[in-house]
Every structure is written in structure tokens, then in C-alpha cells.
Structure 1
Amino acid sequence: MLRFRFMILLLIVFISGLIQGALIPLLSTLIERDGAPAWVNGLNATMLYVGVIVSAPLLERFVRKYGFRPTIVLGIVLTAVATFALPIWPSLLVWAMMRFFIGFGDSALHYGSQVWVTSASEKRSLGRAMAYYGMSFSLGFAIGPLIAPLVDLWFWLPFLIIVFFCLASLMLVFKVENEFPEVEKVKTDSKGRIRLILVGAGYTLLPAFTYGFLEASLNANFPIFTSRNGMSLTETSTLITTFIVMSIVVQLPLGRLADLYGKKRILQIVLTFGTLVFALANLVVDSYIGLLFLFALAGAGLGSTYSLGLAHMTEVLPRSLLPTGNMLYSISFSIGSISGPMIGAFWLSLPKEIYFFMYAVILGILALRLFTSTAKPIDL
């Protein structure tokens, strides 16, 4: 039964990644075709992450009161309704609002699944469980963009496919019994729980920020950087796809290593490795083959940052604090996703020879923080 539930949750997470992977390029392309300025397009896209940030504290209360399954159902219904509304009202203002609700809904779907998996997994196999979780989302996110071009066959087609996947995930989630997070031994309010985590294990939230920053800035800014430096769109897409594919391939082996040698130790190694890879990228900035090789290495090392960080946070927190910890982890990821393209846009004005060095700095700071931080005991 536990294995069956885990498989269902992985399928739901796959669908969550698929929805995000399809909608982000689809809506951005349609807005671009409509002739809107790039900054308007970017602002519209940001509403997805605003929805995630706004939803996080509300979902923590919701999951404690109603359980995991209703949280996932809420997310699926919100996402399906908002997606169905997109082709009905093709306007920038309406799409910004719908993106907010999609962000809220997808966050609920993702959050309910994430907390359920982290709460139910044994600590000795947590790295492997989070690796499967990360692989499922990444695979969905990688396949999602293949749905976007279907808009040229029929405008409604990609939206209806996404709604279909929402309904499929709704059917799946009703095949498992509802469960609730572990009850605290000593009752604390939301602010108290947040304070306990930030003081005792705040550094464990940094991998989520870093992964969100890296993913969003590479997707939003890197294509601009390569086009300005004479690289074709095909070459750019291949580099990003290589990063994603390698992150999927290596995620499970890294999860197993994390269970054997410690989540924090493996995180330290991959972040140090990522820092060196991006530092080396400055030396081959004009070489497509050189960048392809280094992007493969970067994806293999850094693609598991989110799931390894989540596993480490789950390892050091009491189970009763996991809903709050996952809430803060989601917020940290969303802040990284919003700030990545903004800061990355500034980096585009710097000399190309130091573009990748800025990524190395961010990763190096996080690696150093992990080497110098330890979780403090949290008693409830």
C-alpha cells in the first residue's frame, strides 16, 4: 500500500512538472506573438511565482486542518479551471490573473505531494525517495514544452491537454486514503514554527533558493546571452536540454549516495563541483563543444540541488514541523525563481568573460555556507 501511494504521488508530481513545463513557454510565446514588450511578458510570467509565494503560508494551515489529499485536490481544481479560462479570455490582464491562480494551484498540488512524501519517508531512504520525487518533476518539466507547439495546430489543443492531465491526476489522488501531518507535542503558532526553523535550520532552505535562481536565470537570460554572442537557438536549446537530461540521469545515484554518506556531505560536494564547473565555463565561453561538455557536468552535479536540499531539511526537522519547513522551502525556491531573471538581466551587461563567474560566486557562497553551518536541536 505504501509503495502504491508513493507511485501515485510520483505520477501527480510528474503531471505538476508537465503543467509548468508546458504553460511557461506556451504563454510566453503567445504573448510575444501578440507584440507585447519583453518586460511585460516577463512581468506576466512572474505572476506564477507570486501565486506560489502567496499560497505557501495558507497551504500550511490548510494541510494541517484538512490533510494531504484535499490540498492536492484544491490545487488540481484551481489549475484546471484557470488553464481552461486562458483560451476563453486571451488578454494580458486576465492571463496575469490566471497565471497567479495556476501558480497557487500548482503550488498546492506540489506542496501537498511534497509534504506527504517527506512525512511518510524513512530517514534512512530519504535521499532515494527525494531523488525519485525530483526525477518525476524534472521529467514532466522536460516533456511539458513539447505540448506548446500544438497551439499551431489548434489554439485550444495544448490547453485541453493540460486540463486532461489535471483530471487524470484528480482520479489518481482519490485512489489513496487521506492522511494528516504529525501533530506537535507542544502547540506553537505559525510564527513560532517559522522562527524555530529559521533559527535551528535556516541554512537548509538555501539549496531551494539556489536551484530556483539557477533554473530561472538559465531559462530566461541564458538564451539572450548566447544570441548576443553568435550562438544559434538550436545550440542554446541543446545546452539547456543537456543540463536537464543529465540532472534526471544522475539524480537517483546521488540520492543513494546521500543515504550512504549523508545528505549534507553530498550537497557540499555537488555545490563545490558546480562552482568549479561554472568557473571553468568562463574559459570556453566562445566554444559550443566546451560549453556542452560543462553543461552536462553542471546538470549532473547541480540538477539534484533541490531534492538533496529537501532531503537534508527533512532529515534535521521533527516530522511535526515538516509542513512549515516545506512551506518555507517553496517560498525560498520561488524567491530564487523571481530574483534569478532580474539579477541575470543585470549580468548580461557585464563582459561575457565573467558571465559564468557570477554563477560560480552564487554557488560558492552557498557551498561555503553549508560547510560552516550545522542544524541546532529543535525541541517541541
Structure 2
Amino acid sequence: MQRFRFSILLLVVFISGLIQGALIPLLSTLIERDGNPAWLNGLNATMLYLGVIVSAPLLERFVRKYGFRPTIVLGIILTALATFFLPLWPSLLMWALMRFVIGFGDSALHYGSQVWVTSASDKRSLGRAMAYYGMAFSLGFAVGPLIAPLVDLHFWLPFLVLIVFCLASLFLIFKVDNEYPEAEKVKTDSKGRIRLVLIGGGYTLLPAFTYGFLEASLNANLPIFTVRNDIGLTQTSTLITTFIVASIVVQLPLGRLADHFGKKRILQIVLTLGTLVFAIANLAVDHYVWLLVLFALAGAGLGSTYSLGLAHMTEVLPRSLLPTGNMLYSISFSVGSISGPMIGAFWIALPKEVYFLMYTLILGILAVSLFTAKAKPIDI
């Protein structure tokens, strides 16, 4: 795809990752400081991903009718407005509502960019293109948690920083011309398209679920887990940032390997590695330095799960089904993201030595699924 347009989309994706990376641990920490129970904190965090789920079917129709750029613009405006209202009305009910709006807006921003990139990329270099895409999102997600401690300087400060980034992305996206998804050769309704995607490559949605579970639970539950085990907010932010930075370092090499050896094979390898790393983490829960090392290894192995899974889905589906495939991929990601904080909130009540067993089980199940599943050809 055109290099200038691709660069702009990467910047927009960076901002999408930054917003998520900042707001999830920031709001979770503030709610925990107010003495609210962990389950209520987890429930509040799920509103972001509920917004993503609700938006996904609507955005598929929106992007087919109006194109990629208006979809991204809609997302930026909704996200900026909701972020402004968060510090204006600091209450659990209002934050839940604004998180829903942010989820809707961030989904539009992310979805429009994601479908645009997958639709315009050459399948022979798709792994590399999605690696850059994943790197942009991961870099934003890595910077995001570092914004959270700004709340200790001034309550409004982190929110204002995020609003500025939203306005910057709005300016950037108007630098590129609008485009539309490829039209279907044979017209089908929404249910028919969903059925085709699920039959032809439903298993390709599993990496999105797993990455969503991992990302959301680490950001929403890990701060609570570490606070209860005498690890400070800065150290917690460093753990999360280490995970993301490690994933950034290996995104492009893994993308090139995926283009050469196959996306599915590389996914199988990294998920197996991640399962082993989190199994070991259960033994190192009281040793911060070892946790830091293990988070680096986990990030290197698992940080590309979303982009590799998306690249694999894109090579399995015809281009006319990519908006539907991306919609289902976003929903799968959001279901994982909702499950993560909710399951994690109850898992925290268990002995701390088994906290990371949650990730071991999820990753192990996905790894086994990918070793056994096969794609079916879709004729449309």
C-alpha cells in the first residue's frame, strides 16, 4: 500500500494503543485506591470492551457505506470527548459509561485502520505489514502505562495528555484520501458473511481472544495483584512496559519469519513458549527481578499474537470478507478482554503462587487448538 498512507495509519494505531495502555491501569489504580472491591474494578474495566463488541457489527456496515477515513474520524472524536469527561465526573457509574464510549470510539479508530491495512497489503508481505502494525500499537501500549503515574502530579494531567494525542491523530488522518473495502462478487447478507468466515477460518479468531485476555487482565488485574503484594505502581508499570517493549523488539523478525515459514507455524511456536514462561512465573512470584525477566520473555513470545493471528486470518479469507473477518476478530479480542479482568478479579483471591497459572491454562489451550485446526477454502 502507499507508503505515506501506511505511515499515517501506523501513527493513528500508535495513538489507539497509547489510549488503551494508559486508561486501563490508570482507572483501575484510582478505583482500587478508593477502596472498591476487585470484582467491581474488573466489572468497570469490562465496559471498555463491551463498547467494542457493541460497535463491531455497526462499524462493518459503516465502513462499507462511508469508507475507512470517516470510520477512523468517528472513533477519534468519541474517544476524545469521553476522555475529557472522565476527570470531570469521577464516579464509578460515569466512568463505566465513559469507558463504554471510549471502547466504541477506540474500536472505530482501530477497526478502520486495521481493515484498511489488511485490505491494501500484498499477501506475500502481509506478515511484515502486520508486524509494523503490531509494533505501532504495541509501542503506544508501552508508552501508555507510563502516563498513568502523572495522576500523582495533577489529577487532570494524564487525561489532558491523551486528549492532545487524540487531536493530533485527527489532524493526521485528514492528510490521506478516503477509500472503501473491496466489493463482493456475490452479494450476501451479514449473517451469510459471518457464517462463511466462521466455517472457513473460525479458528483464526482464537489468537485475538487470547491476546485480549492477556492484555486486559495484565493491565486491569496486575496493578491490583501487585499492590496487594507490596509492589508499587511504578514497578507495576515497568513490568507491563517491559512486556510491550520486548514484543516490539521481535515484532518485525517474527513477521518476516511468518512470511517465510507460515503464520500458523510461528503462532504455534510463540504460544508454546508463552505457556512455558507463565508456568515458570508461578515459581517467581515473590522475586521482582525474575518477574521482570519472565515478562520480557513473555512479551517477546506473545506480543505478536494479535498481529500474527490477524495476518493468518487475512491470508485465509478473500478480500471481500475482510471487513467481516476483522469485525469478528475485534469481537473475539473484546470477549477475551472482558473475560480477562473478570476471571482475574476472582483469581486474585486465590493464593498468589497460582496467579500466573491462569495465563498458562489459556495459552496452553490455544496452542493445542492451533496444532489441530485447519482452514477451509471459501468460494465467493
Query: Which residue does 1:49 correspond to in 2?
Result: 49
- Residues 294-305 of structure 1: pairs in structure 2 closer than 5 A: 294-305=294-305
Query: Which residue does 1:308 correspond to in 2?
Result: 308
Post-superposition Cα deviations, 1:11-64, rounded to whole Å, max 9, x if no partner, equal 000111112222223333444455544443332222111111100000000000
Query: Which residue does 1:206 correspond to in 2?
Result: 206
Q: 1:180 to 1:250 in 2, by over 3 A?
A: same
In structure 1, give the amino acid aligned to 2:183: V
Post-superposition Cα deviations, 1:100-123, rounded to whole Å, max 9, x if no partner, equal 111101100000000000001111
Query: Which residue does 1:149 correspond to in 2?
Result: 149
Do structure 1's residue 130 and structure 2's residue 165 form an aligned pair? no
- Residues 273-288 of structure 1: pairs in structure 2 closer than 5 A: 273-288=273-288
Following TM superposition, by how much is the alpha carbon of 1:260 offset from its aligned partner in structure 2, in angstroms? 1.1
Q: So what's the TM-score if we normalise by structure 2? A: 0.93
Following TM superposition, by how much is the alpha carbon of 1:154 offset from its aligned partner in structure 2, in angstroms? 4.0
Structure 2 regions of 5+ residues with no counterpart?
none
Q: Is contact 2:145–2:241 with CA below 8 Å preserved after alignment? A: no
Q: 1:29 to 1:366 in 2, by over 3 A?
A: closer
Following TM superposition, by how much is the alpha carbon of 1:226 offset from its aligned partner in structure 2, in angstroms? 4.6
Query: Which residue does 1:249 correspond to in 2?
Result: 249
Query: Which residue does 2:197 correspond to in 1?
Result: 197
Q: Is contact 2:48–2:103 with CA below 8 Å preserved after alignment? A: yes
Following TM superposition, by how much is the alpha carbon of 1:310 offset from its aligned partner in structure 2, in angstroms? 0.5
Alignment RMSD, CA only? 2.1
In structure 2, give the amino acid aligned to 1:83: T
Query: Which residue does 1:14 correspond to in 2?
Result: 14
Query: Which residue does 2:181 correspond to in 1?
Result: 181
In structure 1, give the amino acid aligned to 2:138: S
Query: Which residue does 1:58 correspond to in 2?
Result: 58
Structure 2 residue matching 1:147: 3-state secondary structure: helix
Query: Which residue does 2:360 correspond to in 1?
Result: 360
Post-superposition Cα deviations, 1:326-348, rounded to whole Å, max 9, x if no partner, equal 11111111111111122223333
Q: Is contact 2:282–2:353 with CA below 8 Å preserved after alignment? A: yes
Following TM superposition, by how much is the alpha carbon of 1:184 offset from its aligned partner in structure 2, in angstroms? 0.6
- Taking the aligned partners of 2:233 and 2:225, their CA distance within structure 1 comes to 11
- Taking the aligned partners of 2:85 and 2:338, their CA distance within structure 1 comes to 24
Equivalent pairs counted in the alignment come to 380
- Taking the aligned partners of 2:362 and 2:345, their CA distance within structure 1 comes to 15
- Residues 24-43 of structure 1: pairs in structure 2 closer than 5 A: 24-43=24-43
Query: Which residue does 1:72 correspond to in 2?
Result: 72
Q: 1:371 to 1:323 in 2, by over 3 A?
A: same
In structure 2, give the amino acid aligned to 1:78: L
- Taking the aligned partners of 1:33 and 1:71, their CA distance within structure 2 comes to 36
Query: Which residue does 1:335 correspond to in 2?
Result: 335
Structure 2 residue matching 1:369: 3-state secondary structure: helix
Query: Which residue does 2:166 correspond to in 1?
Result: 166
Post-superposition Cα deviations, 1:46-87, rounded to whole Å, max 9, x if no partner, equal 211111110000000000011000100111111122222233
Following TM superposition, by how much is the alpha carbon of 1:252 offset from its aligned partner in structure 2, in angstroms? 1.0
- Taking the aligned partners of 1:285 and 1:155, their CA distance within structure 2 comes to 32
Do structure 1's residue 4 and structure 2's residue 7 form an aligned pair? no
Following TM superposition, by how much is the alpha carbon of 1:217 offset from its aligned partner in structure 2, in angstroms? 2.0
In structure 2, give the amino acid aligned to 1:132: Y
- Taking the aligned partners of 2:148 and 2:293, their CA distance within structure 1 comes to 28
Q: Is contact 2:24–2:220 with CA below 8 Å preserved after alignment? A: no
Q: Percent identity?
A: 85
Post-superposition Cα deviations, 1:265-323, rounded to whole Å, max 9, x if no partner, equal 10011111112222233344444343333222111111110110011001100000111
Identify which range, 157-166 or 47-56, moves more after superposition.
157-166
Structure 1 regions of 5+ residues with no counterpart?
none
Identify which range, 54-63 or 164-173, moves more after superposition.
164-173
Identify which range, 33-42 or 243-252, moves more after superposition.
33-42
- Taking the aligned partners of 2:351 and 2:149, their CA distance within structure 1 comes to 34
Q: So what's the TM-score if we normalise by structure 1? A: 0.93
Identify which range, 95-104 or 144-153, moves more after superposition.
144-153
